[in-house]
């Protein structure tokens, strides 16, 4: 079944823009507009209200939207059934992950997996934690790496507890010489990623009563390390993110350990293609997860 027009409608709703939908679908903006004009002409009523600032569904469009999502989900079920019949001989696996997993785990995992299953193609999407879980729930990704807690309706497998550490200038020494305590943090400024502060890092900083007005935000983990090296503040990063970062800095644990839980999420659908199941087992083996 040619589901392009249905995918187009769903993408416009999710992206709230014809232009962003075209970028998501990797087609031209004119192709998106043409598809919508044709389907509206065929149905005899408008599906979208086009404003200057955004695009919203008409009342009739709102009635169609859940049906279109169901059709797309059923189409994915058909694809999975075909992949299941094909087994491990061919197919594509769509993975979602955040940056530190992409950098530290996936190169080895995917190299080993591809050695055993050379005809399985891998598609990798890098995103934030909530985006990955949502895409897995919608079955736009087969598996995803994210952090607990997960609010989406997905199957969750806990992988590791990743300890959160303090990144300091190289000449800094904690008062007790080993761990960061409440006394060490008085009057300090911190440089974090916004997404981290909204989740596990915030719990750490709240415990030590670090005030929001002493926090600045950076774009990525390496930038945080570079700014700490330059003496612009202190950083807080998990162990996994620190593994391949470089800089003349020191790393200390907190006297009260805090962790983030990295997890694997999958659709709750019972029909899992053998190729996906084999990759999940490869991930568990690599991380020594039962």
> All domains of the chain, ordered by start, with CATH?
4-82 (1.10.10.10), 88-155+262-287 (3.40.190.10), 160-261 (3.40.190.10)
Contact 47, 64 (CB under 8 A): yes
The 3-state DSSP class for residue 105 equals coil
pLDDT over threshold 90, residue 90: no
φ/ψ region of 193 (left if φ > 0, alpha if ψ in -120 to 50, else beta) reads beta
Contact 273, 84 (CB under 8 A): yes
Q: What is the pLDDT of residues 249-279, one digit of tens each?
A: 999 999 999 999 999 999 987 678 888 999 9
CA proximity to 202, closest of 190, 186, 219, 188 = 190
pLDDT over threshold 70, residue 38: yes
CA proximity to 167, closest of 88, 71, 241 = 241
* The pLDDT value given to residue 199: 72
Q: How confident is the model at residue 42 (pLDDT cuts 50, 70, 90)?
A: very high
Contact 286, 105 (CB under 8 A): yes
Cis bond upstream, residue 238 (ω within 30) = no
- Neighbouring residues of 139: CB distance < 8 A, sequence distance ≥ 6: 73, 76, 267, 269
The 3-state DSSP class for residue 267 equals coil
For residues 60 and 97, what is the distance between their CA atoms, to the nearest angstrom?
36
Q: How confident is the model at residue 82 (pLDDT cuts 50, 70, 90)?
A: confident
More reliable by pLDDT, 151 or 42: 42
Q: Report, in angstroms and rounded to the nearest whole number, the Rg of the chain calculated over CA atoms.
A: 23
Beta strands in the chain (DSSP E): 48-50, 55-57, 91-97, 120-126, 143-147, 155-169, 190-193, 215-218, 234-238, 249-253, 259-266
Q: Which of 108-112, 137-141, 158-162 has the lowest mean pLDDT?
A: 137-141
For residues 136 and 128, what is the distance between their CA atoms, to the nearest angstrom?
13
Q: Kindly give the pairing relationship between strand 259-266 and strand 155-169.
A: antiparallel
The whole-angstrom distance between residue 216's C-alpha and the CA centroid of its chain comes to: 23
For residues 161 and 147, what is the distance between their CA atoms, to the nearest angstrom?
10
Averaging pLDDT over each range in 25-39, 87-101, 197-211, which range is the top one? Answer: 25-39
| Terminal CA-CA length for the chain | 40
Helices 18-25 and 29-43 cross at an angle (nearest 10°) of 110
* The pLDDT value given to residue 45: 95
Q: What is the pLDDT of residues 134-144, one digit of tens each?
A: 999 988 999 99
Instruction: Name the DSSP letter for residue 246.
Output: -
Helices 274-287 and 59-86 cross at an angle (nearest 10°) of 80
């Amino acid at each position: 079944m040619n589901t392009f027009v249905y995918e187009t409608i769903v993408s416009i709703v999710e992206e709230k823009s014809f232009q962003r939908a075209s970028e998501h679908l990797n087609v031209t903006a004119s192709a998106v507009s043409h598809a919508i004009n044709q389907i509206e002409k065929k149905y005899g009523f408008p599906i979208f209200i086009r404003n200057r600032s955004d695009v919203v569904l008409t009342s009739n469009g709102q009635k169609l939207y859940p049906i279109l999502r169901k059709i797309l989900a059923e189409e994915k079920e058909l694809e999975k059934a075909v992949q299941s019949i094909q087994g491990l001989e061919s197919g594509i696996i769509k993975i979602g992950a955040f940056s530190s997993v992409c950098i530290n785990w996936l190169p080895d995992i995917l190299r080993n997996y591809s050695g055993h299953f050379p005809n399985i193609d891998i598609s990798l999407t890098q995103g934030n934690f909530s985006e990955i879980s949502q895409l897995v729930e919608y079955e736009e990704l087969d598996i995803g790496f994210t952090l607990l807690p997960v609010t989406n309706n997905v199957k969750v497998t806990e992988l590791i507890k990743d300890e959160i550490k303090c990144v300091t200038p190289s000449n800094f020494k904690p008062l007790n010489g080993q761990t960061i305590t409440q006394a060490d943090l008085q009057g300090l400024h911190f440089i974090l990623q916004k997404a981290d502060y909204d989740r596990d890092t915030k719990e750490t900083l709240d415990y030590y009563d670090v005030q929001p007005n002493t926090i600045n935000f950076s774009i990525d983990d390496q930038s945080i390390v570079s700014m700490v090296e330059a003496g612009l503040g202190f950083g807080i990063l998990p162990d996994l993110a620190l593994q391949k970062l470089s800089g003349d800095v020191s790393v200390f644990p907190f006297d009260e350990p805090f962790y983030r839980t990295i997890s694997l999420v999958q659709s709750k659908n019972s029909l899992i293609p053998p190729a996906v199941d084999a990759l999940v087992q490869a991930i568990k083996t690599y991380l020594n997860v039962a």
